[in-house]
């Protein structure tokens, strides 16, 4: 990478960010942009949020700007609102001991920006940039690691990971999102600190999983997680799949799942996660989603996607009835994402016959959808009221069973979905029972 890229162009920093920094400067305080935004500026990646650190206390910041929201005063953070955009300004902090591996016992303000940088997780996240003076504060040589494309803990990885167990997962995540290697010593420090990782709240873990899915190729993070033991903690079934071979595929079942996930475009994190988990079975998927505090909606979608994908009747000779039965479980609304998932898998397996079979079957599913073949009891040409009025069947368990039976008949042959035909069939069935 050329040196030129390791300068920050004046124009790369939005005017309001410069205004926040220069206002703090003029009032006699130090002010730097810091963390992810400096890293991403230097890498030429899109910036998600602009974080400013300053020697000013929250109270002092509040006096300098018209609109300030006290978002996290107890941690030294306030949000300055300029032109409707939010900028977090955090007072320089040191951190006390972490006795629980989750949060520091005390946070205190410090004067030296270097002390604030020293409590950060990775060198590439521990660079501060003084916008007003065009000056980097980079005591841990984060820029060298950006050039070398390495994720390296600030100082001693063992200590960093003992302080906050989430950092081991962040290490895996950044190696995927930045497409960086993980420094050897940093990697070696992960396994001994898994007991601390176990104490981390599942909500924080879930957020890291979702952020990982935004990487172009999330697989890098999961390979790191598998090699270091993190994956055994989070999803033992997935870790175990690295010991299963797949006939006709050059790699383990785990590697197949990684490749399918990577083959799906970022954007729909849950769909990519379903691709990752599709082979472990819906019971395990459910346990994983519950254990890791995914929302109910996310969990249901994950279970539904993995189950429906595994139930697809991948057989060219299958009858339309089987495709309708599959569609009944899969639902029409989910066909396109299931198709994405199954196509990704077929492509990774690289088996021409499999791809052709899948495409032929998906086309037939499309026709079933376009024809609106009934696949649900609500789509039958008769309902409970019809059974009561025309056949004298009172609402009962029997009525439910008759309608369910009628649906099976219509799934076999949609031409039976006519009111008179169905009433006659149901009458005969009720009498013979």
Contact residues: ligand ATP, CB under 6 A:
35-36, 48, 51, 120-121, 125-126, 164, 166-167, 211
Q: How far apart are CA 178 and CA 146, in angstroms?
A: 9
* β partners of residue 91: 54
Q: Indicate the residue among 168 and 259 with the shorter CB distance to ligand ATP.
A: 168
Q: How far apart are CA 120 and CA 110, in angstroms?
A: 14
Please report how close the Cβ of residue 182 comes to ligand ATP at its closest, in angstroms.
Answer: 16
In 3D, which of 341, 338, 408 has the Cα closest to residue 366? 338
Contacted entry of ligand ATP, Mg ion, none for residue 220, CB cut-off 5 to 8 Å set by kind: none
Please report how close the Cβ of residue 403 comes to ligand ATP at its closest, in angstroms.
Answer: 51
Q: How far apart are the first and last CA of the chain?
A: 79
Backbone angles phi, psi at 2, to 5 degrees: -80, 150
Q: Indicate the residue among 177 and 417 with the shorter CB distance to ligand ATP.
A: 177
Please report how close the Cβ of residue 40 comes to ligand ATP at its closest, in angstroms.
Answer: 7
Contacted entry of ligand ATP, Mg ion, none for residue 167, CB cut-off 5 to 8 Å set by kind: ligand ATP
Please report how close the Cβ of residue 206 comes to ligand ATP at its closest, in angstroms.
Answer: 14
Q: Indicate the residue among 128 and 361 with the shorter CB distance to ligand ATP.
A: 128
Candidate segments 13-21, 36-44, 150-158, 311-319, binder of Mg ion by CB under 5 A: 36-44
| Residue 387, SS3 per DSSP | helix
Contacted entry of ligand ATP, Mg ion, none for residue 211, CB cut-off 5 to 8 Å set by kind: ligand ATP
Backbone angles phi, psi at 82, to 5 degrees: -125, 130
Q: Indicate the residue among 124 and 338 with the shorter CB distance to ligand ATP.
A: 124
Q: Indicate the residue among 37 and 235 with the shorter CB distance to Mg ion.
A: 37
Ranked by CB distance to ligand ATP, the top (closest) residue is 36
Q: How far apart are CA 217 and CA 231, in angstroms?
A: 17
Please report how close the Cβ of residue 49 comes to Mg ion at its closest, in angstroms.
Answer: 5
Q: Does 36 bind Mg ion (CB under 5 A)?
A: yes
Q: How far apart are CA 429 and CA 402, in angstroms?
A: 8
Q: How far apart are CA 95 and CA 92, in angstroms?
A: 10
| Residue 52, SS3 per DSSP | strand
Please report how close the Cβ of residue 72 comes to Mg ion at its closest, in angstroms.
Answer: 14
Please report how close the Cβ of residue 16 comes to Mg ion at its closest, in angstroms.
Answer: 17
Contacted entry of Mg ion, ligand ATP, none for residue 121, CB cut-off 5 to 8 Å set by kind: ligand ATP
Contacted entry of ligand ATP, Mg ion, none for residue 125, CB cut-off 5 to 8 Å set by kind: ligand ATP
87 token code pair:
């900028």
Q: How far apart are CA 54 and CA 34, in angstroms?
A: 10
Q: How far apart are CA 244 and CA 26, in angstroms?
A: 63
Q: Indicate the residue among 101 and 414 with the shorter CB distance to ligand ATP.
A: 101
Please report how close the Cβ of residue 174 comes to ligand ATP at its closest, in angstroms.
Answer: 8
Backbone angles phi, psi at 93, to 5 degrees: -130, 150
Candidate segments 33-41, 238-246, 261-269, 362-370, binder of Mg ion by CB under 5 A: 33-41
| Residue 34, SS3 per DSSP | strand
Cβ atoms of 422 and 381 within 8 Å: the answer is: yes
Task: Give me the residues that bind Mg ion (CB under 5 A), please.
Answer: 36
């Amino acid at each position: 990478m050329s040196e030129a890229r390791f300068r920050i162009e004046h124009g790369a920093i939005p005017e309001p960010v410069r205004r926040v920094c220069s206002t703090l400067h003029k009032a006699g305080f130090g002010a730097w942009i810091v963390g992810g935004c400096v890293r991403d500026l230097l890498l030429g990646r899109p910036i998600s949020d602009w974080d400013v650190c300053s020697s000013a206390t929250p109270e002092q910041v509040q006096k300098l700007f018209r609109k300030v929201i006290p978002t996290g005063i107890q941690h030294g953070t306030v949000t300055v609102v300029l032109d409707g955009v939010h900028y977090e300004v955090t007072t320089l902090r040191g951190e006390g001991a972490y006795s629980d591996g989750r949060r520091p016992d005390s946070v205190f303000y410090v004067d030296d920006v270097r002390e604030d940088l020293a409590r950060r997780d990775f060198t590439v996240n521990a660079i501060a940039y003084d916008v007003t003076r065009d000056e980097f504060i980079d005591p841990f040589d984060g820029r060298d690691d950006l050039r070398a494309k390495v994720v390296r803990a600030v100082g001693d990885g063992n200590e960093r990971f003992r302080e906050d167990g989430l950092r081991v997962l962040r290490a895996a995540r950044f190696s995927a999102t930045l497409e960086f290697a993980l420094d050897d010593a940093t990697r070696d420090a992960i396994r001994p600190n898994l007991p601390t990782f176990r104490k981390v709240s599942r909500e924080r873990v879930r957020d890291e999983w979702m952020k990982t899915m935004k990487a172009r190729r999330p697989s890098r993070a999961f390979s790191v997680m598998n090699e270091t033991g993190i994956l055994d903690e989070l999803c033992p079934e997935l870790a175990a799949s690295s010991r299963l071979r797949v006939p006709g595929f050059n790699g383990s079942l785990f590697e197949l799942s990684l490749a399918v996930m990577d083959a799906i475009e970022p954007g729909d994190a849950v769909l990519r996660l379903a691709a990752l988990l599709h082979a472990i079975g819906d019971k395990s998927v459910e346990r994983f989603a519950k254990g890791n505090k995914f929302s109910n909606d996310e969990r249901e979608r994950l279970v539904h996607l993995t189950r429906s994908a595994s139930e697809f009747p991948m057989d060219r000779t299958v009858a339309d009835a089987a495709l309708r039965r599959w569609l009944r479980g899969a639902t029409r609304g989910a066909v396109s994402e299931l198709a994405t998932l199954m196509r990704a898998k077929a492509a990774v397996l690289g088996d021409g016959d499999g791809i052709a079979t899948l495409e032929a079957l998906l086309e037939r599913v499309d026709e079933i959808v376009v024809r609106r073949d009934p696949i649900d009891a609500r789509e039958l040409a008769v309902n409970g009221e019809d059974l009561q009025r025309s056949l004298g069947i009172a609402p009962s368990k029997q009525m439910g069973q008759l309608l369910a039976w009628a649906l099976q008949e219509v799934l076999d042959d949609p031409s039976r979905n006519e009111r008179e035909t169905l009433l006659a069939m149901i009458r005969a069935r009720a009498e013979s029972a």
